[in-house]
Amino acid sequence: MKKIGIITIGQSPRPDILPDMMMILGEGYEVIEAGALDDYSLEDIQKLDLGKKEHLLVTRMRDGTEVMIPEEFVEPLIQQRITEVEKEGTDVILLLCTGRFPEFEAKSLIVKPSEIVRGAVDAALRKGRLGVVYPGKKQIAGRPRERVENGRVVYVDAASPYGPMEEVERLAERLAEKNLDLILLNCMGFGYKMKQIVKEKTGKPVIQANALVARVLKELVS
């Protein structure tokens, strides 16, 4: 039985994400979960000085509480977890985050969702209007906006994947007004139900990051 290491930037396990991914992967795999924040309490994380940190990541604790952490804080913790799960004999390790990370040391193949998602978007939409949804308002400088990037008009917006579903519904209504060609839910925490809300409101193709990554992961381990 092949072993897949899954490293979340929050706390493990992730029952909000893994069931959807395992439906795509199917049976015959042993999953070893580990979280960068497994050794920290909610109080520890809430004491972190976010200040004017440029790169912030949104994740959740084991009890479902949403937290925001600086990228530079979590990177060495991810490396630590990678080293730990490799000792279990993993064939491949998945980082459960669409953020961009440096290279980590490992003998196993490390899968970075950011690379997969970017490749899929570039392949699907060379020109036109792209909607990108982030999990936190601080990641979009506090407000939705448009920018021109690589020949596309990119509309960025945010909604928490860990909050009430009404927040996602309001997001979908805003997206529906933007005449987009493609929408990316740019966080591994956005699930199938959230995708369906956005798709029904907008009538546009929607990329659910964790489902896309699970399909690539299945190709790698099958």
CATH number at residue 44: 3.40.50
Question: Which residues 6+ apart lie within 8 Å of 69 measured at CB?
Answer: 9, 37, 45, 48, 56, 57, 59
Whether pLDDT at 121 is above 90? yes
Pairing of strands 2-8, 92-95: parallel
Whether pLDDT at 54 is above 80? no
Residue type (1 letter), 207: I
Whether pLDDT at 51 is above 80? no
What is the domain range of residue 39?
2-112+211-221
Q: What is the pLDDT of residue 55?
A: 85
Distance, CA of 6 to CA of 8 (rounded, Å): 7
Whether pLDDT at 89 is above 80? yes
The partner residues of 134 in beta bridges, in order of sequence, read 158
Both 143 and 52 in a single domain? no
Number of domains into which the chain is organized: 2
C-alpha separations of 99 from 9, 153, 189, 199 in Å: 10, 21, 12, 23
Both 149 and 80 in a single domain? no
Both 21 and 91 in a single domain? yes
What is the rounded average pLDDT for all residues in the chain?
Answer: 95
Whether pLDDT at 77 is above 90? yes
Both 108 and 156 in a single domain? no
Backbone angles phi, psi at 2, to 5 degrees: -75, 145
Both 98 and 123 in a single domain? no
The residue-averaged pLDDT of 125-140 equals 95
Whether pLDDT at 53 is above 80? no
Expressed in angstroms, the distance from the first to the final Cα of the chain is 11
Whether pLDDT at 104 is above 90? yes
The residue-averaged pLDDT of 166-195 equals 97
The residue-averaged pLDDT of 137-162 equals 93
Both 93 and 185 in a single domain? no
Structure tokens at 201: 């409101």
pLDDT tens digits, 151-178: 899 999 999 999 999 999 999 999 999 9
Both 76 and 145 in a single domain? no
The residue-averaged pLDDT of 36-65 equals 92
Q: What is the pLDDT of residue 52?
A: 72
> Which of 51-60, 90-99, 140-149 is predicted most confidently?
90-99
Residue position matching structure tokens 């396990």 = 13
